[in-house]
Chain A
């Protein structure tokens, strides 16, 4: 299982762009990179998933360099409601491949 390393916490201000980087040096060829957001007492919410280069959806962008040993979640113009824990997960999407969570990054957005 590819282990991931993220900053434990980050602070930001409303309206700023936030970039959270995740290291996954042992990523395998079949592994995808998925980011989740979790609020207290709620289940994780899927944000974005990618395999290589750049992926963008309505809430975030995911940048993956060519060697895929890291990835960066970019949240444009954060608001107070983006205060949450963000998890980077790496693994295959096939079969019973289990998803192991790391410690995540606690993002605190200030007014």
Chain B
């Protein structure tokens, strides 16, 4: 199947700093990528949808100035958590939707990034 990578896999930072998380589709092109966050024993919560070359669409309640999303190419999207606070500590997961080929439209997920803000 198609592979999506995330970097870093885990990060610990001080309160007030910014953290960037990268999401890459390794063997397919993705015109659409999604960012989720997940709290322990809870389901994934969609934060935003990003389309290559255009602004991201944020879900209600998600601050776009705090969670900056950039989708500069068909294989890379980044999520920057600006001025992180302890309540931003969570498991962040990206996914990419295959743009073409046999698996067109299927959504594949990255391994996730564990963020801990002290």
Chain A contact residues, CB within 8 Å of chain B: 32, 34, 36, 41-46, 49, 87, 92-96, 98-104
Q: Which residues of B contact A93 (CB under 8 A)?
A: 97, 104-106
Complex: how many Å from CA A32 to CA B97? Answer: 14
Rounded to whole Å, the gap between the CB of A60 and the closest CB of chain B is 13
Which of A41, A46, A98 makes the CB contact (< 8 A) with B1?
A46
Q: Which residues of B contact A102 (CB under 8 A)?
A: 43
Q: Which residues of B contact A42 (CB under 8 A)?
A: 111-112
Q: By the criterion CB–CB under 8 Å, are B109 and A43 in contact?
A: yes
Complex: how many Å from CA A42 to CA B6? Answer: 11
Complex: how many Å from CA A32 to CA B1? Answer: 18
Residue among B34, B44, B97, B109 with most chain A CB within 10 A: B44
Which of B32, B94, B106 makes the CB contact (< 8 A) with A49?
B106
Q: By the criterion CB–CB under 8 Å, are B110 and A43 in contact?
A: yes
Which of B6, B36, B112 makes the CB contact (< 8 A) with A41?
B112
Q: Which residues of A contact B77 (CB under 8 A)?
A: none
Q: Which residues of A contact B57 (CB under 8 A)?
A: 96
Q: Which residues of A contact B111 (CB under 8 A)?
A: 42-43
Complex: how many Å from CA A98 to CA B59? Answer: 10
B25 interface residue, CB < 8 Å from A?
Answer: no
Residue of B nearest to A104 (CB): B43
Q: Which residues of B contact A101 (CB under 8 A)?
A: 36, 43-46
Q: Which residues of A contact B109 (CB under 8 A)?
A: 36, 43-46
Complex: how many Å from CA A43 to CA B57? Answer: 22
